[in-house]
Chains A and B, each alone.
Chain A
């Protein structure tokens, strides 16, 4: 258990509404990632962070923004949710050092439905 908590675990929202998902970690890991998981696509990287206030885009970043004001928290925001953003969202972290050995630890996920 890498001490990663995602909230909420489930959310149903309407098209056009803003949504924020939260990832909280207790491991003091430098790197944090947001993925979405969809049938037939596996895990796709949305955004990642390599430190407080340092973030960058992943392969499917359109329609998403992130913020990291503290080491332990990484927020994913859908500014105006669309039905195509219905998915399961996972947060992951890694220490970001040779000792961390590239292993990412995952949260339990947030299931988001956009109606």
Chain B
């Protein structure tokens, strides 16, 4: 089946630093999603990407849909303590397989004030 490799598994950074994480797939996707999960809560959508090469921002967050359609990355600029959490990438084929998503295993982000 499809697999997503998400890296790094965890990151420990100082407040104010920039963060970068990425996902690579063994299969082509035509949708990439990035979610954040706060402790004790469910994942919440951060950014959705639908076209190869697309670059989309949401405040201090920027994500890109790779040209090969097999990868995506997420950048967080000027990190703050509330950025702490687990970040997941997810990919899918629009309209296929009952709209199922394939998830990466997550990047645990810790921000030291």
Chain A residues within 8 Å of B, Cβ to Cβ = 4, 31, 33, 40-43, 45, 48, 50, 56, 58-59, 90, 92, 94, 96, 98, 100-109
Contacts and interface: CB of A to CB of B under 8 A. Distances in A.
B103 A43 contact: yes
B95 interface: yes
B92 to A, nearest CB: 5
Interface string B62-104: 0000000000000000000000000010101011001111011
Measured as residues with beta carbon below 8 angstroms from the partner, the interface class of chain B is 20 to 34
Contacts, number: 61
Interface in B23-49: 31, 33, 35, 40-45, 48
Contacts of A108: 40-42
B48 A101 contact: yes
Contacts of B48: 101-103
Interface of B: 1, 6, 31, 33, 35, 40-45, 48, 50, 88, 90, 92, 94-95, 98-101, 103-106
B98 A42 contact: no
A102 B99 contact: yes
Contacts of B99: 31, 94, 96, 100, 102, 104
A42 B9 CA distance: 11
A90 B37 CA distance: 12
Contacts of B40: 108-109
Contacts of A59: 1
A42 B104 contact: yes
A43 B90 CA distance: 10
Contact of A40 (B33, B103, B104, B105): B105
